[in-house]
Structure 1
Amino acid sequence: MTNPIIETNKATVARFLAGTHSPNIDDVAVIDDTVVPHIACHGFPGFPNEEFFDRESYKAFFRIFRQSFSDMSFETLKTIATEDFVSAHWEIWATHSGEFQGIQPDGARVVFDGIALYRMEDGKIAETWLTINEPLLISQLGKGRARAA
């Protein structure tokens, strides 16, 4: 027997991930429908203490990220959900097309993965903990066009 709360939470996160990683950056507007206004986010590079607490900052993160990495393909590898939390393990393939953490773009194709844990409130994302495999990502940047696939 399926639990409707868990299914709602999983569907919300799937919709959020699809919109925030869509080829159309305007799809980040999905944040307005899937995230509470008082969102708390942890582990986001580029923000003071890697944290922020509002939906507009969440949108800004994805817009900035998409300026650094284009031609992105995104896949959710595994989702685990309870009534209060959804965890997603994902993988991204992208082109390094804009500065990221001070590293100038070189057009290289990169691949990296990460995990996001979402705390849910009434079917919406209320808190996010993000862990990017940053050592893997950084190790692929700034190597020159010769290694681009």
Structure 2
Amino acid sequence: MTIIERNRATVARFLAGTHSPDIEDIAVIDETVVPHIRCHGFPGFPDGEFGDRESYKTFFRVFRQSFGDMSFETLATVATGEFVSAHWKIHATHTGPFRGIAPDNARVVFDGVALYRMEEGRIAETWLRINEPLLVAQLGRGSARAA
């Protein structure tokens, strides 16, 4: 297996675990992420930044409380030397507060991109870009819903 194949497989395993119907699958973070992870662009953290695996787990726990009944799809993955990028789409139900917007069980659909820098086959840095304008536009709008 090449380094690129190994890195792509690690990211696929990470995404499958962190977006699994069983939130306990976020334990995959311990196996796929370095302890000194650096993360950028994460809603709910000061300046969108944090630097440890427990914060990564917290992000996914809170995110899953905000958006339940989730289906996650990886649309494209690109891997080069030390970087893997994934374009993804989520369909979910707004079940908990997000950005100060109270949940109303709206079905939402949104996409985003994550760029992962790898170290020895594990994720060492993540840049997250959620299509937040699309997501927020679907929240708290009564009967106007996404498909």
Equivalent runs, 1:1-149 vs 2, <5 Å = 4-144=2-142, 146-148=143-145
Instruction: Give the TM-score of the pair, scaled to structure 1.
Output: 0.96
Q: Which runs of 5+ in 2 are unaligned?
A: none
Residue 26 of structure 1 aligns to a residue whose secondary structure is helix
Q: Offset at 1:83?
A: 1.5
Q: Could you give the per-residue CA deviations for residues 36-88 of structure 1, whole angstroms, max 9, x where no partner exists?
A: 00000000000011000000000000000000000000000000001200000
Q: Distance in 1 between matches of 2:53 and 2:38?
A: 9
Matching residue's letter, 1:69: F
- Runs of 4 or more above 4 Å deviation: none
Q: Distance in 1 between matches of 2:114 and 2:48?
A: 14
Identity of aligned residues (%): 75
Matching residue's letter, 1:25: I
Q: Which runs of 5+ in 1 are unaligned?
A: none
Matching residue's letter, 1:84: E
Instruction: Give the TM-score of the pair, scaled to structure 2.
Output: 0.97
RMSD: 0.9
Q: Distance in 2 between matches of 1:94 and 1:85?
A: 28
